[in-house]
Amino acid sequence: MLAKRIIPCLDVRDGKTVKGINFVDIREVGDPVELGAKYARDGADELVYLDITASHEERKLFADLVRRIAANLNIPFSVGGGINELRDADVLLSAGADKVSVNSAAIRTPGLVDQIASGFGSQFVIVAIDARYENGRWGVYINGGRVPVDKELFSWAREVQDRGAGEILFTSMNHDGTKNGFACDALRVLSESLSIPVIASGGAGREEHFVEVFNEGKADAALAASIFHYNEIPVPKLKEYLKTNKINVR
């Protein structure tokens, strides 16, 4: 069985790692290059960097940052935010990113997933899906969870898999920020219905939550931000805990 992955997520604004809630009360938490290198030393398996103020004007700045990250990192990292066309993916992959993550743009232009997968390979494409459980269904949202769209989590995940996505990054909006655990029921359905890896996001608060997400949620990887940034659960301590609970980690 493949080892389960632990993935810290770093939101980047104006070249700094930040953390906030729905883009409110945003605080700087460190230099993205230094913080990424620290997580690599601590045993993180991968990193995800999200450009939360992505625009064409800032794309060059972010590409420069990606080059610096790549030069100082010895683990894979993914980049997302503002990837609206094939050229955007090309710029970031050429700068040294190992994968790109698309979310809202994939909803608006589903063929973008096909284009990136055809141009670079499925292993380079993560489709991120933000969904909220309401009225008996998992509805999908775009624009940082602000705008609902006429998509349902499981059918959309199957569609992007068919279009060539190499991984799904599912964030439960119901669980995000609560620190009460991941959406294990939905994750299990996703994992059992897809043939590509599923990354869990939203709800990490305690070490036990990671055992649950791997055992009950059948997730291939688990992503978190604040618990790592504020050293609430250091990566080495988490990995030791997972090993003692018979979870296969690197």
Active site residues: 11, 130
Nearest residue to 200 (alpha-carbon basis) of 210, 151, 228:
210
Residue 34 to residue 73: CA distance in whole angstroms: 9
Residue 168 DSSP SS3: strand
Instruction: Tell me how long the chain is.
Output: 250
Cβ atoms of 99 and 91 closer than 8 Å? no
Encoding tokens for residue 224? 């978190």
Spacing of C-alpha 188 from chain mean position: 17
Q: If DSSP codes are grouped into helix, strand and coil, which group holds residue 167?
A: strand
Spatial separation of the C-alpha atoms in residues 232 and 234, rounded to whole Å: 6
Distance, CA of 92 to CA of 169 (rounded, Å): 19
